[in-house]
Structure 1
Amino acid sequence: MINHEIKINFEEYTSVEELGQADKELCLEAVKALANSHSPYSKFRVGVAMRLQSGKILHASNQENVAYPSGLCAERVALFNWGANHPNDPIETMAITAHSDEFLLTKPITSCGACLQVLAEYEKKQGRAIKMLLYCQQGAVWTATGIESFLPFLFFEDRLNN
């Protein structure tokens, strides 16, 4: 038997005020994206702001549907928008925040497994890692570069590209 251990690295800031100006602004843009969330069932809004290499910022939010699971998470809304409209302008940084109408969030939220796998696909597609900012409006910000920090066992099979 061989025992393996996986370690991840991320930085934790106690508030958005500790970030550099560009990252702070992107987190606040993610808050703005919450306004367009369609989440009448979960009452859990998620907002995303992505900064592209050109400086352009894309906004996205979760979109629920009464015919669950027909909705889509904010991260995939953002990534599919990028893939369809801006594929030659690499994603540099992605900020994610959330708000619940039912309870107070006290730590950053993380992306679901499906969103992490899509993030992995788009990192591979653009040939570079994406800096992630997970922002809790009432507290900490977690930062990491590269999706492997969140999903160490990515699914990739290079022979599928043939």
Structure 2
Amino acid sequence: MEKHYQFAYDYFDSIDDLTPEENALIQRARQRAHHAYVPYSNFGVAAVGLLENGMIVESTNQENASYPVGICAERVLLSTISSVHPDIRLLKMAISYYNPGGKDQAPIAPCGMCRQALQEQQLRFGQPVLLLLSGQEGSVIRVKDSMDLLPFHFSATDLRG
């Protein structure tokens, strides 16, 4: 039996077409990406989250000479929220990047590990996390439910059998 999976997302030519709140989140992510610790790849990524209490949390990717030790901006953000604000739900996450050695105008999406971490956060609180994906300028993609990016996710129910 063949099955199909598809999801809808919003595409915007400019951050000017977003809500003021979403526009501000993207602008903060674009600025924060310049402050990532990326001495090896020079590819800075930032994630900025809006919590349900109105607080904004910012993060960047962190590299290490021992490459597997590095951590993506999205997981830095999720870990910070879980550690510092464990009972406050993440509503929205804006992700942007800075690539001084190439183009950085196309929207960027979370890697597989970050998609898995996002679905865990979402399952924990039982409500979708909205994602705003962008580069340093240009178009923005809005994904209303981060679970849409990882349809065959692994969860605690898989561990229980």
Task: Determine if the TM-score, normalized by the shorter chain, exceeds 0.5.
Answer: yes
The secondary structure found in structure 2 opposite 1:106 is coil
- After superposition, where does 1:71-110 map in structure 2 within 5 Å? 71-110=70-109
Residues 31-83 of structure 1 show CA distances to partners (whole Å, capped at 9, x for unaligned) of 23223300011110001110000100000000000011111000000000001
Separation of aligned partners in 2, 1:148 and 1:56: 23
- After superposition, where does 1:101-140 map in structure 2 within 5 Å? 101-140=100-139
Cα distance change of structure 1 residues 79 and 161 upon mapping to structure 2, 3 Å threshold: farther
* 2:69 alignment partner in structure 1: 70
2:36 counterpart of 1:26: no
- Calculate the TM-score normalised by the size of structure 1: 0.94
Deviation at 1:88, TM superposition (A): 1.2
> Does the CA-based 8 Å contact 1:52-1:89 persist in structure 2?
yes
Separation of aligned partners in 1, 2:23 and 2:146: 20
The secondary structure found in structure 1 opposite 2:46 is strand
Q: 64-73 or 152-161, which moves further after superposition?
A: 152-161
- After superposition, where does 1:133-152 map in structure 2 within 5 Å? 133-152=132-151
RMSD: 1.4
Structure 2: runs of 5 or more not aligned: none
> Does the CA-based 8 Å contact 2:30-2:135 persist in structure 1?
no
> Does the CA-based 8 Å contact 1:10-1:149 persist in structure 2?
no
> Does the CA-based 8 Å contact 1:63-1:71 persist in structure 2?
yes
Separation of aligned partners in 2, 1:147 and 1:153: 13
Deviation at 1:106, TM superposition (A): 3.1
Deviation at 1:159, TM superposition (A): 5.9
Letter paired with 2:17: E
* 1:37 alignment partner in structure 2: 36
Letter paired with 1:28: Q
Residues 85-131 of structure 1 show CA distances to partners (whole Å, capped at 9, x for unaligned) of 11211101000000101101231011000000000000011111101
- Calculate the TM-score normalised by the size of structure 2: 0.95
Letter paired with 1:151: L
Deviation at 1:136, TM superposition (A): 2.1
Separation of aligned partners in 2, 1:69 and 1:160: 25
Structure 1: runs of 5 or more not aligned: none
Q: Would you identify which runs of 4 or more consecutive aligned residues in structure 1 move more than 4 Å?
A: none
